[in-house]
């Protein structure tokens, strides 16, 4: 038996709801019977970890990167916007979405940069404590593991929120200076909801890297695994969704219903990728003219002038599932991480 | 719930799959006692310690630490028990003070109070000069001392240390043992595991010898010596005179098991401390007693002898 046998070797009496197979257990130590708040010490962990994040070189580099990206793309967007008609009622939103050769729009950068920042924040959260041999010392203090893990997650989440909000304010500020007019109320609401969506899009990758940092003892392995998942969703998931849809809903006689069924299945599958959810939320929020992500049937188009912007509440309704999807994904991954961490041997 | 014992275990057992790491352990510690856990690698010492702290779930049995159950009331236990792990690590990019401040916050110690305690503790362990240095630049001994300061920070009633003198130089180890005696003096109950038997013997009131998950011997060193060595005292005498009658006289004493001599130096093995009887016997046999000394039984001998016997039985 290996001395270094890692995680997940606790007896079955720790798995909630599963009966222990050892009859002589006098006090089955279930977590339900614990005393004291699981959140004792949470804020101590959050403040320490946030301070670590904000002073780390790793974050400095990423902050510089994202500030340069924001400044560059917004400047380029403004150049473009100045040359076109300024009749557009949503000029401010165009700051985020206008691309100008050779630069893509800021939002396209964001869908790359946010996962990168999120992964960089948590890929060594748990295994880093293991490797520094601080975990047993910290857990010997009067706190539960819950507080440590939650604290680490919240510290990363708040750091991400801080960085993204700062960028968001920077863009708004640049816009007011460059375009010479403040955003209208609807633009602020749309842009703010977009910020929320971006934060939870990051939340998913934070939680994913946290899971890997619990599973893998080596931070490098955890980082690579997180990046592999990210690349998989960015590059391959769309292809996988199409292929699976073709297999499950083959087109045999070429009926329009068949075509539609296949395309709808492919789209549903694609939505399992956080990238798809994020891009759809972004489209719905920043392009008010977007009225649907599916296939618009001619009947649905009647009465709706193509190209006319959707009212704010309609847009919010449209992207509501996407935002809840992002939040649910974050929570699910965190719950997974929580279960894994609770059952882990803390001995190094 | 009786609070007579500071630590009490009943049939405490830990299994990893089919492997039993700790097997039906019954152990009690009195207030103010220093208890040593001994035993070969993999005997279950660390596992026992982790169960006492609620850091590992037991498979079966009962544990009470200061009247609390570590599995159900871990916060109560951990607020009162200091733990120095075998491989002690700090946040390398934080200073000594910052590392301790974090621990103080986790213990809910108010800021001002924490600052005072940290200053006085760092002075006490001799780290006043490096309070604001990052721990990454600390030597092994400095980390160990910082570990002691951290353990004392919460003003514990019990301290549990896993191989605390591992890697310390002799002087540092001596200082460390002095510190343990000081803590005992303050009424703190201490449990420590170690492979350095003479150090254990120097500070521990009682020791427990672990083997393959069971505590096979337990008691004060002198009692164990009686059990394992049948005594184990060695007297050294320097006597001028006829060696043969002196040797005979010494051998005739009760509780003497063996006498050897080289010139005028005699070595007597005995079950008890026989200094007075040996001196009388040597003088009555016509010798001039020049020097007399006794070696108390050493834990080293007990340990070696015990495991040799066990191997013998198994062979
Ligand atoms: N997570 C684990 N899974 C399986 N077996 C384990 C695990 N942790 C420890 N063990 C086994 O339990 C036994 C007791 O280990 P423990 O660490 O308590 O020994 P120890 O007495 O502290 O030894 P040492 O003197 O080397 O520190 C060992 O045989 C070890 O291999
Ligand atoms: Mg050990």
CATH number for position B213:
3.40.50.300
Whether A132 and B17 lie within 8 Å, measured CB to CB: no
* Chain B hits for A11, Cβ within 8 Å: 15, 57, 59
**Is residue B270 included in any domain, yes or no?**
yes
Q: Tally Cβ neighbours within 10 Å of residue B305.
A: 17
φ and ψ at residue B234, rounded to 5 degrees: -120, 120
For ligand 1, is residue B194 a contact (CB within 6 Å)?
no
pLDDT at A300: 52
A41 touches chain B (CB under 8 A): yes
Question: Given a cut of 60, is residue B281 above it in pLDDT?
Answer: yes
Please compute the mean of the pLDDT values over residues A310-328 and round it to a whole number: 91
Give the nearest ligand 1 atom to B195 CA: 25
Does B291 lie in the same domain as B151? no
Spatial distance between the Cα atoms of B62 and B71, rounded to a whole number of angstroms: 10
Spatial distance between the Cα atoms of B286 and B67, rounded to a whole number of angstroms: 62
Any idea which ligand is nearest the CA of B50? 1
pLDDT at A306: 55
Whether B83 and A140 lie within 8 Å, measured CB to CB: yes
pLDDT at A12: 36
**Looking at ligand 1, which residue's alpha carbon is closest to its atom 16?**
B44
Spatial distance between the Cα atoms of B38 and B219, rounded to a whole number of angstroms: 12
Question: Given a cut of 90, is residue A257 above it in pLDDT?
Answer: no
Instruction: Please report the ipTM that was assigned to this predicted complex.
Output: 0.84
Does B99 lie in the same domain as B130? yes
pLDDT at B232: 72
Does B240 lie in the same domain as B215? no
Does B243 lie in the same domain as B181? no
For ligand 1, is residue B42 a contact (CB within 6 Å)?
yes
**Is residue B167 included in any domain, yes or no?**
yes
The CATH number of whichever domain residue B277 belongs to comes to 3.30.70.100
Does B171 lie in the same domain as B103? yes
User: Is residue B159 within 8 Å of residue B31, measured between CB atoms?
Assistant: no
Distance of CA B298 to the CA centre of its chain: 13
Q: pLDDT by residue (tens digit) across A106-144?
A: 888 888 899 999 999 999 999 999 999 999 999 999 999
Question: Given a cut of 60, is residue A297 above it in pLDDT?
Answer: no
Spatial distance between the Cα atoms of B269 and B253, rounded to a whole number of angstroms: 11
Tokens 């391959």 locate to A236
User: Is residue A222 within 8 Å of residue A127, measured between CB atoms?
Assistant: yes
* Chain A hits for B91, Cβ within 8 Å: 132, 134
Number of domains into which chain B is organized: 2
Closest-CA distance of chain A to residue B248, Å? 55
pLDDT at B231: 67
pLDDT at B315: 61
3-state secondary structure of B289: strand
**Looking at ligand 1, which residue's alpha carbon is closest to its atom 4?**
B16
**Is residue B186 included in any domain, yes or no?**
yes
Any idea which ligand is nearest the CA of B41? 1
Spatial distance between the Cα atoms of A149 and A192, rounded to a whole number of angstroms: 29
Specify the pairing of strand B158-162 against strand B81-84.
parallel
**Is residue B307 included in any domain, yes or no?**
no
The pLDDT-based confidence of B269 (bands split at 50, 70, 90) is: confident
Spatial distance between the Cα atoms of B159 and B34, rounded to a whole number of angstroms: 10
**Is residue B225 included in any domain, yes or no?**
no
* pLDDT higher at A259 or B44: B44
Residue of chain B with shortest Cα separation from A38 = B75
pLDDT at A2: 38
Question: Given a cut of 70, is residue B15 above it in pLDDT?
Answer: yes
Task: For a ligand 1 pocket test, name from B43, B55, B216 the mutation site with the most ligand atoms within 8 angstroms of its C-beta.
Answer: B43
For ligand 1, is residue A345 a contact (CB within 6 Å)?
yes
**Is residue B315 included in any domain, yes or no?**
no
Does B290 lie in the same domain as B165? no
User: Is residue B12 within 8 Å of residue B53, measured between CB atoms?
Assistant: no
Spatial distance between the Cα atoms of A137 and B151, rounded to a whole number of angstroms: 9
pTM metric for this prediction:
0.86
Calculate what percentage of chain B has a pLDDT beyond 70: 98
Per-state percent for chain A, helix, strand, coil, to nearest 5: 70, 0, 30
Does B147 lie in the same domain as B92? yes
B-side interface with A, Cβ within 8 Å?
15-17, 19, 42, 46, 50, 53, 55-62, 69, 71-76, 78-79, 81-83, 85, 87-92, 102-103, 105-108, 147, 150, 154
Query: Which residue, B183, B184, B103, B176, is CA-closest to B144?
Result: B176
Q: Pick from B15, B85, B89: which is nearest to A132 by CB?
A: B89
A60 touches chain B (CB under 8 A): no
Does B288 lie in the same domain as B151? no
Please compute the mean of the pLDDT values over residues A215-229 and round it to a whole number: 96
Does B282 lie in the same domain as B162? no
Does B273 lie in the same domain as B170? no
pLDDT at A22: 39
Closest-CA distance of chain B to residue A8, Å? 10
For ligand 1, is residue B286 a contact (CB within 6 Å)?
no
Residue B20: which domain range? 5-219
Instruction: Say if residue A216 is preceded by a cis peptide, omega within 30 of 0.
Output: no
**Is residue B288 included in any domain, yes or no?**
yes
Residue that finishes a domain, picked among B219, B244, B273: B219
**Is residue B129 included in any domain, yes or no?**
yes
For ligand 1, is residue B56 a contact (CB within 6 Å)?
no
The pLDDT-based confidence of A8 (bands split at 50, 70, 90) is: very low
**Looking at ligand 1, which residue's alpha carbon is closest to its atom 22?**
B46
Q: Pick from A35, A44, A345: which is nearest to B75 by CB?
A: A35
Classify burial at B38, counting beta carbons within 10 Å of its beta carbon; exposed 0-12, middle 13-18, buried 19 or more.
buried
Whether B154 and A141 lie within 8 Å, measured CB to CB: yes
Find the helix or strand (DSSP H, E) in which B26 lies.
Answer: strand B19-29
Does B240 lie in the same domain as B206? no
Spatial distance between the Cα atoms of B87 and A142, rounded to a whole number of angstroms: 20
- What rounded mean pLDDT belongs to chain A? 84
Classify burial at B198, counting beta carbons within 10 Å of its beta carbon; exposed 0-12, middle 13-18, buried 19 or more.
exposed
Spatial distance between the Cα atoms of A233 and A273, rounded to a whole number of angstroms: 6
pLDDT at B254: 85
Tokens standing for residue A42: 């949470």
φ and ψ at residue B81, rounded to 5 degrees: -115, 130
Q: pLDDT by residue (tens digit) across A48-83?
A: 999 999 999 999 999 999 999 998 888 888 888 877
């Amino acid at each position: 038996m290996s001395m270094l046998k890692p995680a997940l070797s606790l007896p079955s009496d720790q798995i909630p709801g599963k009966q222990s197979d050892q009859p002589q257990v006098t006090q089955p130590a279930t977590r339900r019977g614990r005393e004291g708040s699981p959140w004792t010490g949470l804020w101590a962990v959050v403040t320490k970890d946030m301070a670590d994040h904000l002073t780390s070189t790793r974050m400095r580099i990423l902050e510089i990167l994202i500030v340069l990206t924001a400044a560059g793309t917004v400047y380029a967007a403004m150049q473009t916007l100045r040359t076109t008609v300024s009749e557009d009622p949503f000029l401010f939103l165009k700051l985020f979405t206008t691309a100008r050769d050779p630069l893509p729009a800021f939002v396209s950068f964001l869908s790359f940069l946010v996962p990168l920042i999120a992964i960089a924040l948590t890929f060594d959260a748990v295994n880093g404590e293991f490797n520094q041999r601080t975990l047993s010392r910290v857990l010997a203090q009067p706190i539960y593991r819950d507080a440590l893990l939650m604290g680490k997650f919240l510290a990363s989440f708040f750091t991400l929120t801080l960085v993204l909000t700062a960028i968001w304010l920077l863009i708004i500020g640049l816009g007011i200076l460059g375009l010479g007019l403040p955003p209208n109320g609807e633009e602020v609401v749309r842009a703010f909801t977009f910020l929320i969506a971006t934060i939870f899009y990051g939340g998913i990758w934070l939680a994913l890297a946290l899971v890997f940092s619990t599973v893998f003892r080596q931070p490098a392995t955890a980082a690579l695994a997180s990046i592999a998942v990210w690349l998989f969703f960015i590059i391959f998931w769309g292809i996988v969704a199409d292929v699976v849809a073709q297999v499950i809903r083959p087109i045999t006689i070429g009926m329009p219903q068949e075509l539609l069924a296949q395309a709808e299945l492919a789209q549903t599958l694609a939505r399992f990728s956080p990238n798809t959810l994020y891009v759809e939320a972004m489209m719905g929020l920043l392009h008010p003219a977007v009225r649907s992500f599916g296939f618009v049937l001619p009947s649905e188009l009647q009465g709706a002038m193509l190209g006319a912007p959707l009212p704010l509440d309609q847009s919010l309704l449209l992207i509501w599932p996407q935002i809840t999807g992002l939040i649910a994904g974050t929570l699910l991954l965190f719950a997974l991480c929580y279960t894994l961490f609770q059952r882990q041997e803390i001995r190094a | 719930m009786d609070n007579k014992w500071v630590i009490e275990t009943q049939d405490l057992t830990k299994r990893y799959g089919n492997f039993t790491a700790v097997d039906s352990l019954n152990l009690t510690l009195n207030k103010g006692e220093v208890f040593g856990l001994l035993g070969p690698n993999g005997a279950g010492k660390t596992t026992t310690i982790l169960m006492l702290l609620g850091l590992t779930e037991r498979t079966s049995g009962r544990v009470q630490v200061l009247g609390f159950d570590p599995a159900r009331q871990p916060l109560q236990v951990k607020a009162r028990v200091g733990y120095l792990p075998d491989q002690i690590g700090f946040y390398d990019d934080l200073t000594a003070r910052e590392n301790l401040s974090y621990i103080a916050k986790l213990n809910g110690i108010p800021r001002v109070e924490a600052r005072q305690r940290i200053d006085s503790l760092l002075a006490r362990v001799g780290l006043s000069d490096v309070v604001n240095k990052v721990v990454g630049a600390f030597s092994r001994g400095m980390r160990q001392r910082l570990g002691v300061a951290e353990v004392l920070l919460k003003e514990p009633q019990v301290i549990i240390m896993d191989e605390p003198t591992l890697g310390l130089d002799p002087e540092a180890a001596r200082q460390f043992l002095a510190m343990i005696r000081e803590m005992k003096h303050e009424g703190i109950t201490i449990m420590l595991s170690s492979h350095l038997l003479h150090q254990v013997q120097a500070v521990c009131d009682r020791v427990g010898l672990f083997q393959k998950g069971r505590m096979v011997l337990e008691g004060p060193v002198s009692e164990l010596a009686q059990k394992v060595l049948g005594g184990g005292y060695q007297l050294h005498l320097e006597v001028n005179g006829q060696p043969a009658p002196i040797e005979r006289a010494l051998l005739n004493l009760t509780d003497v098991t063996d006498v050897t001599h080289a010139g005028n130096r005699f070595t007597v093995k005995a079950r008890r401390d026989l200094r007075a009887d040996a001196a009388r016997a040597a003088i009555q046999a016509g010798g001039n007693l020049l020097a007399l000394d006794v070696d108390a039984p050493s834990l080293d001998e007990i340990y070696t002898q015990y495991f040799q016997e066990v191997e013998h039985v198994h062979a």
